[in-house]
Amino acid sequence: MKGKFKTKKDAVSYYDRHNPHMRSLNGDDNNYRSDWDPNTKLLYIVRNDYLINATIDCFSIDDNTEIIEGLTKYKWLK
């Protein structure tokens, strides 16, 4: 996802707000992994950033990381 979070709690809050039709990101098993979304066919996992090229847009396009003239501007999401 083209977004960054400072804490797992922030990631859960962001996911849960944008996916009311889904179980909480940190559901019954505390593994920080979502169920497969029947609408998008995507599954989300909270993990450390290993500088993998992010290709999936955030739930709100305005939340995406911006790259302007070689400069990366992160928005820390909650």
Radius of gyration of the CA atoms of the chain, in A: 13
Whether this prediction's pTM lies above 0.75 is answered by: yes
The pLDDT score that the predictor gives to residue 58 is: 95
The pLDDT score that the predictor gives to residue 65 is: 87
> How does strand 4-5 pair with strand 76-77?
parallel
* Distances from the Cα of 25 to the Cα of 8, 12, 16, 59, angstroms: 10, 6, 7, 14
pLDDT, tens only, 8-26: 999 999 999 999 999 999 8
Six-digit token pair at 3? 């977004």
Say if CB 76 and CB 64 are below 8 A apart: no
The DSSP element (H or E) to which 71 belongs, if any, is: strand 71-73
pLDDT, tens only, 36-77: 999 999 999 999 988 888 889 999 999 998 888 878 777 899
The pLDDT score that the predictor gives to residue 41 is: 95
The pLDDT score that the predictor gives to residue 68 is: 82
At residue 15, φ and ψ (nearest 5 deg) are -60, -50
